[in-house]
Amino acid sequence: MTTVREVQVTFDCADPERVARFWCEVLGYVLPPDFAAACVDPTGVGPRLYFQRVPEGKVVKNRVHLDVRVGTGLVGPERVAVLEAECARLVALGAVRLQLLEADEENESCLLMQDVEGNEFCLD
């Protein structure tokens, strides 16, 4: 049996270079040399993100989304403050803040957001 060693996450989008630049800023990734439609983790640990141009626009909620883990280990007001601070940074890059999902019995608080083309992601 073959073991998978790498995973690439692919986004359908209208403007691959714009979306790639956004996600590089979000994650601290870099554009590979001579290829503006992908993002790579400079440490080599995280998955490669690839952005492919498609003719149709996004019309419904994503079936898969990224969780950007900025509040790991934090709870309560301290966690929400970190999420809100990162949210403000990402809004300045073109993201849209949708909703703060408050902590409950099973999950800590997270912030639902959209990237520059409307793809949902969570600040977690």
**Top-tier CATH class for 58-124:** alpha beta
Q: How far apart are CA 30 and CA 20, in angstroms?
A: 9
Tell me the pLDDT of the chain (124 aa) as tens digits: 788 778 899 999 999 999 999 999 999 999 999 888 999 999 999 999 999 999 988 888 888 899 999 999 999 999 999 999 999 999 999 999 999 999 999 999 999 999 999 999 999 9
Domains 1-57 and 58-124 belong to one CATH topology: yes
What pLDDT does residue 60 have?
Answer: 84
Q: What does the domain layout of the chain look like in residue ranges?
A: 1-57, 58-124
SS3 101: strand
What pLDDT does residue 35 have?
Answer: 86
What predicted TM-score, i.e. pTM, was given to this entire model? 0.91
CATH number for region 1-57: 3.30.720
Torsional sign, CA 104, 72, 86, 14: negative
